[in-house]
Structure 1
Amino acid sequence: MKLRLHPILAPFFLVLMVTGGLAFYALVFISLLFHEAGHVVAAKMAGMKVRSCTIMPYGGELRIPDRHSYGKRQRVFVAVGGPIATAILLLLSMLFSFPGDDQFVRIQTAILLLNILPVLPLDGGQAISAMLETDERKYKVRSAFLVFSISVLLAVTLLLLSGLPETVLFLVLALFLLFQNISAFKFRKYEQAYEQLKRKQLTP
């Protein structure tokens, strides 16, 4: 499995270093790695083969070949793996005292609350999308949930614009998620065609 850092992390962490200091940057990065480790462990337990892991500002993304061919429970289990890992870190940071624990608690809380939002490609959105899908309406559900996610992120972006410059980090993250969803929506038909072709090849 390859571990990658998304290019957006460079400006994101640069702002953190300028505004919050190197220690805060290190805590955020460690927290993101632990969050993504939760997804990787869950994927391995679910019998999925993880090709690569890309660290994002909100957590990360696993590249799992033919992800949508796996069962609903497996995909939900992988989606909640990250938030569970972050929740464990949050609980430990609340139980034990150490230098900078207040800051660490705030970081885990922010990552956890962000990732359980019911918006793609966040973990909450991934879990809900998988639970709503059926064999007959799988592609329609995915498309509808992408439209919902795009609409929510557009509204959030407009709201954050009114709070500049204090909301610049959140604005960058919202725009990043928005463009990810727009890209997924554009390529949804190609993904559907690929899945159908793959299914035909596997059917004797």
Structure 2
Amino acid sequence: MATIMLKVKLHPTLLPIIVWLVLTGQFANYALLFLSLCIHELGHLIVAYLVGANIKSCVIMPYGGEIQFSKSWQMTKQQQLLITIAGPFATLLLFLLALFFLPQNLSVPLQTIQLLLLLLNLLPIWPLDGGRIVEILWSEKKSIIQTKTSFLAFSMSCCFLCLLMALLYIPESFFFILILILLFIQNIQAFRYRRYEQAFENIVLNRLTP
């Protein structure tokens, strides 16, 4: 487990966000958010370790984390679902801990953060946990490119709709809009990359087939 923790890294976009929060006097709140993100990802990592997944890297993003696995094509859907659900479950446990065991001055902001994380992370947008759960269920009896094409189109549509709704609440939704834009860019990149995943799948299948 200690070896796995060494693979955890921070995404470069965190630095300007932290600087902005320090300048605006909101760093204390973000410290709680960052702690919450780390615990969320720890939930993923613990379950991944327990089910025997080979973890390649874990990058903490402003909205959560992204875990990459070596030989991910060998993982069963059950393993993938357990690992994906573990993050929101860890967030829920932290919410309950704050609700029942922490003093109110710390409990209230921590509860709020956990609820916001759950609402954001369970949106059906890739690569959020909600999006990954939908993708895993979507991929039943389909090739990688069929799954990626249809699912990413769905994911980008959801992201675009959320972005339109968020625009109605500017300036309060400014940070949420930035996250949605980042997610939309990632979806576009994944959509362009999907054909390479299909080619990789074919190579792997050819090697495994006697």
Give TM-score, length-normalised by structure 1: 0.92
Residue 182, structure 1, aligned to residue 185, structure 2? no
Q: Which runs of 5+ in 2 are unaligned?
A: none
Equivalent pairs counted in the alignment come to 204
- Superposed CA deviations along residues 34-60 of structure 1, whole A, max 9, x for unmatched, are 000001011112210101110012210
1:35-74 matches, within 5 Å, as: 35-74=40-79
Match of 2:87 in 1: 82
User: Which consecutive unaligned segments of at least 5 residues does structure 1 have?
Assistant: none
**What SS is found at the alignment partner of 2:55?**
coil
Give me the identity figure in percent. 39
TM-aligned CA deviation for residue 19 of structure 1: 4.0
Aligned equivalents of 2:146 and 2:61: distance in 1?
27
Higher mean C-alpha displacement, 1-10 vs 35-44:
1-10
Q: What is the aligned counterpart of 1:22 among 20, 27, 42?
A: 27
Q: Distance in 1 between matches of 2:11 and 2:25?
A: 21
* Counterpart residue number, 2:207: 201
SS of 2:125's equivalent? coil
Amino acid across the alignment from 1:182: I
CA distance, structure 1, for counterparts of residue 79 and residue 145 of structure 2:
18
Equivalent residue letter for 1:31: S
Q: Deviations over 1:119-155 (max 9, x none)?
A: 2111011112112222444431232111011112122
Distance of 1:186 and 1:163 partners within structure 2: 31
Aligned partners of 1:17 and 1:25 also within 8 Å: no
C-alpha RMSD over aligned residues: 1.7
- Matched residues in 2 for 1:69 and 1:140: separation? 19
TM-score (norm 2): 0.90
On the 8 A contact 1:12/1:169 being kept in 2, the answer is no
State the alpha-carbon separation in 1 of the partners of residues 70 and 168 from structure 2: 40
Cα distance in 2 for partners of 1:100, 1:66 equals 41
